[in-house]
Amino acid sequence: MTRLTRRLFTLLAVAALAGCAGSGEVTRQGPPEPLGAFKLGHIVVVADDVKQVPPSRDVSADEWEAAMRDAIDARFSGHTGDQFYHIAVHVLGYSVAVPGVPVLLAPKSAMIIDVTIWDDEAGGKINAEPKQFTVLESVSPDFVVGTGYTKSRTEQVANLAANAAGQIEDWMRENEDWFAPNP
């Protein structure tokens, strides 16, 4: 009985926190904060060997590639630096939430990607090894019930792609020296 009580307490705590949370999505107002000399060049997204982790809704490689390109373009196209940098993304795996049992079993959406940044002028990769990200869906009141019930597959994919673009930007800002103007 103690084990059941702990599980119930944990579930209720998570539900309470999720209910208090905002959407997790950030809408940019005005131009983005500069990122050194960064100006978006090409966006390359590959998802041809993406692995689906059950339980999950089906999402095609083309859908992943389009969603990631759109999210990266929306996030980075406003940067007005004077040096082009290219962002390459490899979508490795995903699970897009299916309807479950609300509160008790509400699957969450997630994806795993590898990212490489390329310096156009130098003609090569900035990060020798791809940076791997585990991307989760935004926390919202829907999180408790499960986005499998409350959002369409397209909305879930767009949310994951937007969150991925946000994580990529955070990582790039942690390494802002990569984007220092060339002499």
Walking along the chain (183 residues) 10 residues at a time, the average pLDDT comes out as 44 38 50 94 98 95 99 97 98 90 70 98 96 90 55 94 98 97 79
pLDDT of residue 164: 99
Q: Domain 36-179 has what CATH class?
A: alpha beta
Nearest to 70 by CA among 131, 158, 167: 158
* 35 backbone dihedrals φ, ψ, rounded to 5°: -125, 70
Question: Contact 81/35 with Cβ under 8 angstroms?
Answer: yes
DSSP strand E in 10-153: where? 38-46, 51-52, 83-95, 110-119, 124-125, 131-136
pTM value?
A: 0.81
Residue-level pLDDT at 27: 53
